[in-house]
Amino acid sequence: MDATLGAGVKITNVAQWCRQNGVDRRTFYRHKARIETEGEWRPRSHRPRSSPGQTPAKVEAEIVRLRAELAPDNGADAIGAALRALAAEQDWATAGLRVPHRSTVNKILQRAGLVTAQPQKRPKSSFRRFAYARPRDCYQIDATELKLATGQAVVVFDVLDDCTRLLAACHAADAETAPAAVAAITAAAAACGPPAIVLSDNGGAFTGGGRSTGARGSFPRAVAAMSARLIHSSPYHPQTCGKVERHHQTLKKWLATQPAPATLTDLQALLDAYRTWYNTRRHHISLGATPQHAWDTAPAHGGPGQLPRQHDATIHRLTVAPNGTLSIGSNYLISVGRHRAGQALTAIRDHDHITVYTPDGTPLGHHHLNHNKHYQGTLTPAA
């Protein structure tokens, strides 16, 4: 049987052509009828006639608008929080509108060409977070470098509450010095109260060395004066101060949207405005609320004289045995040396990672537990 397709293509033997091309004859004649009816063959959309689950155009428009309005903090979670506030204000439920899931928000942004793919980023499901249980259990402090409009390099000290991510202080200084660090932690204590623990890295401003010459030990003394305990992050474990270090990124993104400050006074004014915005308006992903809301609604607050509580981590107050070992629970023994027999040490266990501190808060060493052994051997020295 002969058949003629569009564009003058003639097939003399349909059955043979179908066998050679692996096409069912019923399919051949169905498409032949489409060509005769429509004049040419065109692929047809597989889109359903109706999409009752599709996000309404009004909601999509709000998502695109918020992407620009919330910059630089304009991810799917921030947009979702703003949409929920808008939905409550405008009573979307009455109009049959709802706030879409974050994955839907991302898809809408992708369709609008507003998302840059970052396949190298780790999925959020791979992260394991831990935090102190109460506000003022622990303040993290760290400094980051910025530049004024004149090109002059300055630093900003951030003091962040570990539990609620509340920014207790944001202090501008000429350089990362001990007096500047003291000013920052003092401002934090004055604004939010002193903590039980102050956690910092091993920078000279926090330990009494390096650029803090002339005020040696002033930061440790200032922390002790508020009856708080100073501890330093251990080497090879930068996650310890991860919250305040990650916060630097948020601060710098916000500052990039503002006019460049010409003086340190101008920068401090910006930092004061930023602190208000960050604490009271920015929706924090891990909290599901603003830091100020998390702080205000916390059932209990910590502080000096109270043993800090930590999610997914344990704090041990331990006495070194006569044979120079520390007993971690009833399962593990770690050697710290016979010369430390009788000393009271602090050990912080984060899952399998343990860091041991001397009474003055200096990291003595760290160790990764081997669950198949009772005696763990000696600590890896901190220095």
DSSP string, 174-200: SSS-HHHHHHHHHHHHHHH---SEEEE
Is residue 108 a contact partner of residue 55, using CB atoms and an 8 Å limit? yes
Domain hosting residue 70, numbered range: 57-115
Q: Indicate if 110 and 233 belong to the same structural domain.
A: no
pLDDT at 214 exceeding the cut of 90: no
pLDDT at 6 exceeding the cut of 60: no
Q: Indicate if 89 and 34 belong to the same structural domain.
A: no
Q: Side by side, which strands form the sheet with 353-357?
A: 314-319, 344-350, 353-357, 363-368, 380-381
Q: Which of 297, 328, 351 is the last residue of a domain?
A: 297
* Structural domain includes residue 236: yes
Partnered with residue 337 across adjacent β-strands are none
pTM of the model: 0.59
Q: Indicate if 153 and 281 belong to the same structural domain.
A: yes
CATH code: domain of residue 177: 3.30.420.10
pLDDT at 52 exceeding the cut of 80: no
Output the pLDDT for position 9.
Answer: 65
Q: Which residue is listed with tokens 């926090």?
A: 206
Q: Indicate if 318 and 292 belong to the same structural domain.
A: no
Output the pLDDT for position 344.
Answer: 87
Output the pLDDT for position 87.
Answer: 86
* Structural domain includes residue 123: no
* Structural domain includes residue 125: no
* Structural domain includes residue 48: no
Output the pLDDT for position 289.
Answer: 85
The 10s digit of each residue's pLDDT in 116-155 is 776 655 555 444 456 788 899 999 999 999 999 999 999 9
Q: Which of the pair, 44 or 168, is modelled with greater confidence? A: 168
Mean model confidence pLDDT for the chain? 83
From 113-122, 231-240, 334-343, 356-365, the region with the lowest mean pLDDT: 231-240
Burial degree of 15 (CB within 10 A; 0-12, 13-18, 19+):
exposed
Joined together, the tokens standing for residue 210 give 């390096």
Q: Which of the pair, 211 or 131, is modelled with greater confidence? A: 131
Joined together, the tokens standing for residue 74 give 């304009």
pLDDT at 183 exceeding the cut of 60: yes
Q: Which of the pair, 336 or 306, is modelled with greater confidence? A: 336
Prior bond of 72 cis (ω within 30°): yes
Give Cα separations from 177 to 156, 172, 182, 246, 264 (angstroms). Answer: 11, 11, 9, 21, 15
Q: Indicate if 287 and 143 belong to the same structural domain.
A: yes
Output the pLDDT for position 217.
Answer: 82
Domain count, the chain: 4
Is residue 232 a contact partner of residue 206, using CB atoms and an 8 Å limit? yes
* Structural domain includes residue 106: yes
Output the pLDDT for position 211.
Answer: 44
Q: Indicate if 172 and 255 belong to the same structural domain.
A: yes
Highest-scoring range by mean pLDDT, 9-18, 65-74, 197-206, 258-267: 258-267
Q: Indicate if 333 and 268 belong to the same structural domain.
A: no
The 10s digit of each residue's pLDDT in 323-353 is 999 888 767 889 988 999 998 888 887 667 7
Furthest C-alpha separation in the chain: 102
CA distance 243 to 228: 20
Q: Indicate if 31 and 177 belong to the same structural domain.
A: no
Output the pLDDT for position 330.
Answer: 65
